[in-house]
Structure 1
């Protein structure tokens, strides 16, 4: 199995160097987007399957667990290359049902059964929304392949109705566990760690694949602002909720909702290729964090978990300079942020991220002062360049994907979320959120799993 999956990954990777796009009737479509997603899925799956064989050694349901993981992988691959509306819906549904089984089928009976039922209900809602949106478009255009629907929409803007786009967006939001649908993800902690890694590395990312496949429809329905608002707010709630968690896996779940929110926000900015790049990077990073989560267990209060961080006034100019330098490096290496359009928002987020990372490094590092100042650019520059290479590489590969990257004029939605992002950044960095018990309780409540899914 491991040899097969790795060989498939190598074959798919080699195909990137050739201008490839072919269809099998109206059923399957293999293009660079399908190859990117398929390669990521097979790599994630091979890693998780290899880990599972050791992690669950001796478990009476190990064989069943591995079979379900393989079936889930097949469903995800089928979703990536599906072109027929009915086949895409079927693969989306099968992914949800198999993931529900992985979440609740291998732990204590009562909690596992409850979490399985809870997840399955959310996934059925997501499937119903996606099915309604795609079927609506199929009936409207008279076409049953996604590529043909996109082609007809490009020829006649009047064929696009906002209701279908709104249904597709809602289905992606549920699948991505964004507010107010985040509780299915918070209630999935009954899943074995390998299943959590597979879920957070691939399953919740499926919304970006759906939105990228239907980018033309959503763009022409003028509903990208909905993605900006929903993704931005979901990211903020997930980011804040992470700070009030005491459980490692709950922290990672909140982090995932934040990352999925930013991923959908990138779609709303018109950068669907950036969302796909984010999907892959987040998948690798989150799979690693879940598979290594046992080594990070410590006893601490969520209120005082970062009490070891020290702050000095001279950090401020250093971190600000690092953020501006990081934003400039990202802008010149990707071309985003050099013009007055939605690319500025991506650069703005990079600036805030670098400032936060620099402050965290300076405050926590045990290295001498001079060593920290020397090491900071040595960490930031390679990291940003690596991100830029992946970002640009995915953008080049997806050039033939309709509407994969269309910079938008700066609008009220981007300004609103930008102000909220800046306010959130200041609230987190200056620890203002710790001064509000009301905010703490709200965030704790909104990120709680359902009581019957908590392992006793």
Structure 2
């Protein structure tokens, strides 16, 4: 009896956490009808849904782990901290939820405490988070001090009377915090090294916590949109992260590493959307990416078998060129017809990256019926994203001044698509990357 008691306790911990998360998810409509703002409800529902799915999956996945109860305790604490962050009405609770969620995630990253790599990954994660958390606390302190209040609405309303220099400092502090949590370079090492964590942790992390950076910028949109320097920095940082993440995705031979590279790219697109002022696109990107990555990570074990002798992410160059041309034409038509703004460009690029990630999971070269099936998936994803974007626009209707004009946004899109197409041509022709670049991409996040 003494030998089986720990296992009974652990199983109860899993049932308790999974059950509580499912109850919380199905109770979300109560929060919506009680007057909570839609951004909080959407992020809260996403967090609870992914958390509940992950906890339910983990009850079987972690059943032989001797410290399973600790795992479920940290998982529940992480979801609770994100909920505090999502529904916080003052800067103190935002700071508490932000810092507590980072601490809980670091504990989950280092869950396999017997492995030196896991402990090293936990320490790297904490170092990255401490830098980002420090920037956030400084920004929140500056805004609250100027407003003379910790109330979030008062802080946002009075931020406009800050001097341009202090306002830019506060906005850059928010951007640094978001970049650290979203694993944008130079903070991307913590995310890549966290692959030592159990797969359910990766699912929850990639689907939930890394999106917190986008939520932070959306929550403080009134502050962020008044600082053009910070907005341009967000676009530049996001664009570089997108290229860097796609490079990692294309060279990493392991499924989880490839998906992690895709996450870096997707977070870059989301931060770009915030910088451009496309808040509805950023909100929908947050939701769509969270659900997509949870599915990919929880199915990554099966994907290993599906991929077989997977070499790299490889789409036929002709197919890549045709896809890029159709995407450019479609986005251009939508922008100039007035159906969409220039801010839809990062969302379109995020969709393209998601399709490339799906191709990686399917195993490289796409032929015959697989290609036809992927075409049907592409059509379905475009339809779902269109509907999701309309929903997000109703939930977050703020429209700040555009940072880039239509032609500038299309030029940005053209540069990215040309680079993406050229890279697929390089892979198909087996032309190697420059050795230094290849070494940096393949070793991104390596624990030294």
> Normalised by the shorter chain, which TM-score bucket?
0.7 to 0.9
User: Cα distance, 1:135 vs. partner?
Assistant: 0.5
User: Cα distance, 1:123 vs. partner?
Assistant: 1.2
User: Cα distance, 1:127 vs. partner?
Assistant: 0.9
* Match in the other structure for 2:85: 79
Q: 1:334 to 1:292 in 2, by over 3 A?
A: farther
User: Cα distance, 1:383 vs. partner?
Assistant: 2.1
Q: Distance in 1 between matches of 2:348 and 2:118?
A: 42
* Match in the other structure for 2:422: 427
Q: Distance in 1 between matches of 2:396 and 2:55?
A: 29
Q: 1:160 to 1:67 in 2, by over 3 A?
A: same
| Local SS of the residue matching 1:208 | helix
User: Cα distance, 1:105 vs. partner?
Assistant: 2.2
Instruction: Identify, as 1 or 2, the structure richer in helix.
Output: 2
What is the TM-score normalised by the length of structure 1? 0.82
Q: Work out which of the residue numbers 366, 369, 378 in structure 2 matches 1:367.
A: 369
Q: 1:411 to 1:94 in 2, by over 3 A?
A: same
Q: Distance in 1 between matches of 2:49 and 2:344?
A: 33
Can you list the C-alpha shifts for 1:194-253, whole angstroms capped at 9, x where unaligned?
111111111111001110111111111212111110011111110111111112111111
Can you list the C-alpha shifts for 1:286-332, whole angstroms capped at 9, x where unaligned?
11111111112268788x4357x656x6x588646743675478669
Q: Work out which of the residue numbers 160, 170, 173 in structure 2 matches 1:164.
A: 170
* Match in the other structure for 1:61: 67
Q: 1:246 to 1:39 in 2, by over 3 A?
A: same
User: Cα distance, 1:358 vs. partner?
Assistant: 12
Is 1:37 matched up with 2:43? Answer: yes
Q: 1:146 to 1:103 in 2, by over 3 A?
A: same
Q: Distance in 2 between matches of 1:287 and 1:80?
A: 19
Q: Work out which of the residue numbers 195, 205, 213 in structure 1 matches 2:211.
A: 205
Is 1:196 matched up with 2:202? Answer: yes
* Match in the other structure for 1:387: 385
| Local SS of the residue matching 2:44 | helix
Q: Distance in 1 between matches of 2:347 and 2:226?
A: 25
How many residues in Structure 1 have an aligned counterpart in Structure 2?
426
Q: Distance in 2 between matches of 1:442 and 1:41?
A: 35
Can you list the C-alpha shifts for 1:245-277, whole angstroms capped at 9, x where unaligned?
112111111111010000101111101221111
Check conservation: 1:215, 1:404, Cα contact below 8 A. no
Q: 1:103 to 1:380 in 2, by over 3 A?
A: closer
* Match in the other structure for 2:238: 231
| Local SS of the residue matching 1:220 | coil
Check conservation: 1:352, 1:425, Cα contact below 8 A. no
Is 1:11 matched up with 2:27? Answer: yes
Q: Distance in 2 between matches of 1:136 and 1:142?
A: 10
User: Cα distance, 1:164 vs. partner?
Assistant: 1.0
* Match in the other structure for 1:272: 279
Q: Distance in 1 between matches of 2:333 and 2:86?
A: 33
Q: Work out which of the residue numbers 83, 106, 114 in structure 1 matches 2:112.
A: 106
User: Cα distance, 1:121 vs. partner?
Assistant: 1.4
| Local SS of the residue matching 2:369 | coil
* Match in the other structure for 2:339: 335
* Match in the other structure for 1:398: 396
Check conservation: 2:262, 2:357, Cα contact below 8 A. no
Cα RMSD of the aligned pairs, angstroms, is 3.5
